[in-house]
Amino acid sequence: MKVIVAEHAGVCYGVERALRLADKAAEAGGPVATLGPLIHNPQAVAGLQAKGIAVAKTLGEVDGGTLIIRTHGVDPAVIGAAEARGLDVIDATCPFVRTAHKCAAELAAEGYAIVIVGESDHPEVEGILAHAGGSALIVQHAGDLPARLPARRVGVVVQTTQPPAVLADVVAALLPRVSELRVFNTICDATEKRQAAAATLADAVDVIVVVGGHNSGNTTRLAEICAGRNPRTHHVETAVELDEGWFLGAKVVGVTAGASTPDEQIQGVIEAIEALAGDA
């Protein structure tokens, strides 16, 4: 049984940067906490906790020391409140997410009715909404658009991990219904590359395993893309979840991973799959 890894898989620049900032903060000493999990990868977050970095659900849980803002970003008011409390704030917001924030703020300042393409309950979208002034229409698909739009001048910004096809569908649905449409394609390049590579790999293998947090939106989308092309798609966080029965009769197995999945986690799954092949 041969194992092939997607051309683009695993941690992106934004996640790598955030983990580096967190490690540096832990090495500096003193109380360190992240506001929510730094990234959507339970194993990586547990590793940070082992280094003394706590995970706070709210700002009120952080009494002092260093506060790290998660990669998904936050309402700018949260950073202001943290600094007002004397906390040393390290902003680990992904640079691509920060671009989405700036675009939303620009659209709001210019008076556009804003449509955010993304998941309403995702922390990244919540941050984009805050930068849009707290008023925006959030849709996950073109079909979510209301029968009556709030204005004829509409601006669009998109969650960085959304599939390009979803953004294209929303834009196509809006075009005939508005007098002016301004679109910021804030999907990150790393997301597009991982999704395209996953789709290509899913077509070429017997079984494909997607590695990453079950709570990770970008990893879940990779699994959805793969499942749409290959019914033998499986999403796991670690090698422990692998089932030998998944690989019966398989000659080629593909492995891809979300942008918040560290290399060692991917390698652990690959080695476990190879071990299963050796036992067969």
Q: Active-site residues: which are they?
A: 124
Q: How far apart are CA 78 and CA 65, in angstroms?
A: 16
Single-letter amino acid, residue 34: T
CA distance linking residue 66 with residue 89, whole number of Å: 6
Helix (H), strand (E) at residue 78:
helix 76-84
At 174, list the tokens: 């809006």
Q: What residue spans of the chain are helical by DSSP H?
A: 13-28, 42-50, 76-84, 95-109, 123-131, 164-174, 189-204, 217-229, 263-279
Q: How many CB atoms lie within 10 A of CB 184?
A: 17
Residue 37 token pair: 């999990």
Residue written as token pair 């599939």: 163
Neighbouring C-alpha atoms within 13 Å toward the C-beta of 110? 15
Closest CA to 129 of 73, 180, 79: 73
